Amino acid sequence: MPRLISIRQMTVFCLLALLAGFGLSSAEATQGIAQYGKPKYPDGFSHFDYVNPNAPRGGTLTLPNPGQRTSFDKFNPFTLRGVTAPGIELMFESLAEGSADEVSSIYGLLAEDIAVASDHKSVTFRIRPEAKFSDGTPVLAADVKHSFDILMSTKAHPRYKTTFADIKEAVVLSDRSVRFDFKNNNAELPILAGTLPIFSRNWGKQADGSTVPFDKLAFEVPLGSGPYLIESFKAGKSIVLKRNPQYWADQLSKPLNVRVGFYNFDRILYKLYSDDAVRLEAFKAGEFDAIVEYRAKIWAKGYVGSKFDNGTLLKKAFLNHNGAGMQGFAMNLRRPLFKDVRVREALGYALDFEWLNRQIFFDQYSRINSYFTNSDLSANFDGPRRPTEAELKLLRPLKAKYPQWVPDAVFGPMPSAPSTKSPSSLRQNLRKARELLMHAGWQYRDGALRNEQGEPFRFEIVEDGGFFLRVISAYIRNLEKLGVQVDIRTSDFALHQKRMDEYDFDMTTIRFPDSQNPGNELRDRFGSQAAKEKGSDNVIGVQSPVVDALVEEITKAQDREELRAATRALDRVLWNSYFVVPQWYNPTHRVAYRKEMRYPEPPLYYSAEPWIMQNWWKEESK
């Protein structure tokens, strides 16, 4: 399954997995905060329920390249240009740590306590005196302010400026106390401040006293406070991270609860392989310990052989309760070809999911029918239905003010994606598509679908790597029946990422991972301002005052009911605007691993690769 957006967001080191909100009504300092009510874990808790507190430490975890990257050219994950080495996120920490078995909470990590102002206009963190960077220097409030200021500057990836836009400033109160002031009363902001990645002011400082500019940092060793250090690397091919023997959290007199059961390996080795086939054969040959598989056919037919038969290698689909978000063929709205909503809707009728699921996916997938799939935040979570009164309260004024931006369909039952299940069929769907295209000014003549000027309907699908080509080819065959001409362009990860950063594409496959508690990240994904910033997650190019307004309602939600109404209203607008041809999702993580690998019961909400790195361990052979 493609992960373009998820890979891009890994450079924010799983920020979405930590995002939550806050509802504390006083400035009382505490280790944990939650958006609605109280956090699950009280002050002084011993460890998260989903870890093994007695997991043995030691050994080396060997992993393949995550996603489609086959090389790397920098260690700095916070800048726009280049490809970051895998595992670098293990070198950085934030003031607080998210819990994977709650919808919305964080607990102090670098910070020993958190205090939110009674007016919710600021949050103050007190940094642990034991917290240190990898060079042994203490983590101070000045470093926190430096990190925030840098990430909000033009030297960092523009995503940070969008994500943290509602944080006015970071104020140093003392050596170990820092306050974040907010521009408005946004319940998510204390959590956003807590999940800010922290790095030392000395990162990039040279022996002669000069400092390499932040946006020029490449292979300069990062100075973070995380549990691992870079031991060695081969440029673009492999990297070894070793556990820092002086890691500050290991030096405490009492185990740090948010680190108990985490990071159990002495070393983590990443090997980067040239393609997926080579990577799979390397796993079978015993070159690494675990692999997360995203392709249904390979999972069904590739993970077989004598080592699976004798138990040397194992495979398991781990259930998760993550919201599935949106995955689909995204159209670049910056292209005139896709301006007409009737054109965009028509292209959706050409995707035959049921055929793909039968013939290619071994019936492992379910159809995506929402931007918040597999979540109670979806407008069709309990089946197609009309909007509730709470949703209408948001949608009606927007329809009155911006009629062209609110489709009439949002006031009816939430439609499902086109299906070829009986009594429907591909033929009927293509007829509907042809009618929509005709009304949009496109008719078939002279061997192609053409507009009034005689120009053919033609566009390019940009693909990262090549394993998705069978799906694209099947989609193109149906588009050709409409007279649409489609070219395919494949590229390596680095070139593909560059094209995405610069929005140099017509159509591509995107993956928007969902959050259990969406908020400010939606500005970067769908906000009008983000559409104008190179490198944002708004690759589609959505620029809608209605979408902007509904995202603001989501960030202002004071309880789960308000959040549900706002996300469902947004879902209706996005879905009925046909920006994406929706694809499919799988509510499991498919993992193959060596028999020596051990793991605790998985939490409710998690990503497979970070879970392996964070909470698994290895039973050494005796």
Provide the CATH number for the domain around residue 146. Answer: 3.40.190.10
pLDDT (tens digit per residue) in 261-309: 999 999 999 999 988 889 999 999 999 999 999 889 899 999 999 999 9
- Band of the pLDDT at 492, cuts 50, 70, 90? confident
Sign of CA dihedral 277, 278, 284, 287: negative
Same domain? For 252 and 340 the reply is no
- Mean per-residue pLDDT over the chain, rounded: 92
Run of H or E residues at 388: none
The whole-number pLDDT of residue 23 equals 36
Instruction: Using the CB atoms, write b or e for 311-345: b if 16+ within 10 Å.
Output: eebeeeeeebebbbbbbbbbbbbbeebbebbbbbb
- Average pLDDT of span 325-345: 97
* Domain-located, residue 501: yes
* Amino acid in position 386: R
Question: Counting runs of H as helices and runs of E as strands, what totals does the chain give?
Answer: 19, 27
Same domain? For 213 and 348 the reply is no
Is the Cβ–Cβ distance between 519 and 556 less than 8 Å? Answer: no
Contacts of 29 (CB under 8 A, 6+ apart): 113, 114, 115, 124, 126
Same domain? For 565 and 425 the reply is yes
Same domain? For 343 and 253 the reply is no
* Short-list 364, 576, 335, 577, CA closest to 461: 335
Residue 22 pLDDT > 50 = no
- Average pLDDT of span 160-187: 94
Mean pLDDT lowest for which of 186-190, 511-515, 538-542? 511-515
Residue 543 pLDDT > 70 = yes
- Average pLDDT of span 213-225: 96
Sign of CA dihedral 409, 412, 416, 421: negative
The whole-number pLDDT of residue 170 equals 98
The whole-number pLDDT of residue 175 equals 98
The whole-number pLDDT of residue 5 equals 37
* Domain-located, residue 233: yes
The whole-number pLDDT of residue 282 equals 96
448-450 and 443-445 strand pairing: antiparallel
Mean pLDDT lowest for which of 218-222, 352-356, 360-364, 448-452? 360-364
- Band of the pLDDT at 371, cuts 50, 70, 90? very high
- Band of the pLDDT at 27, cuts 50, 70, 90? low
Q: What percent of the chain has pLDDT over 70?
A: 95
The whole-number pLDDT of residue 321 equals 86
* Domain-located, residue 159: yes
Same domain? For 230 and 377 the reply is no
* Short-list 147, 151, 113, 115, CA closest to 129: 113
* Domain-located, residue 203: yes
Instruction: Using the CB atoms, write b or e for 234-253: b if 16+ within 10 Å.
Output: eeeebbbbbbbeebbbeeee
DSSP 188-207: THHHHHHT-EE--TTTTB-T
Query: The tokens of 52 are what?
Result: 């093994």
CA atoms of 521 and 163, how far apart (whole Å): 6
Residue 535 pLDDT > 50 = yes
Of 329 and 37, the structure prediction assigns the larger pLDDT to: 329
Residue 193 pLDDT > 70 = yes
* Short-list 103, 106, 115, CA closest to 27: 115
Same domain? For 334 and 398 the reply is yes
* Domain-located, residue 186: yes
Number of domains the chain is built from:
2
580-582 and 326-331 strand pairing: antiparallel
- Average pLDDT of span 52-64: 97
Same domain? For 469 and 389 the reply is yes
pLDDT (tens digit per residue) in 232-266: 999 889 999 999 999 999 999 999 999 999 999 99
* Short-list 143, 136, 108, 138, CA closest to 259: 108
Residue 4 pLDDT > 50 = no
Q: What percent of the chain has pLDDT over 90?
A: 82
Same domain? For 474 and 392 the reply is yes
* Domain-located, residue 51: yes
Asked, as a colleague might, if the bond just before 42 is cis with ω within 30 of 0, I would say no
* Domain-located, residue 546: yes
- Average pLDDT of span 38-61: 96
CA atoms of 325 and 377, how far apart (whole Å): 10
Same domain? For 192 and 340 the reply is no
pLDDT (tens digit per residue) in 375-430: 899 999 877 789 999 999 999 999 999 999 999 999 999 999 999 999 999 999 99
Q: What is the span of the domain harbouring residue 577?
A: 326-585
Same domain? For 253 and 369 the reply is no
**3-state SS of 218-282?**
CCCCCCCCCCEEEEEEECCCEEEEEECCCCHHHCCCCCCHHHCCCCCCCEEEEECCCCHHHHHHH
CATH number of the domain encompassing residue 501: 3.10.105.10
* Domain-located, residue 16: yes
Same domain? For 353 and 228 the reply is no
The whole-number pLDDT of residue 456 equals 98
The whole-number pLDDT of residue 621 equals 54
* Short-list 356, 378, 391, 383, CA closest to 584: 356
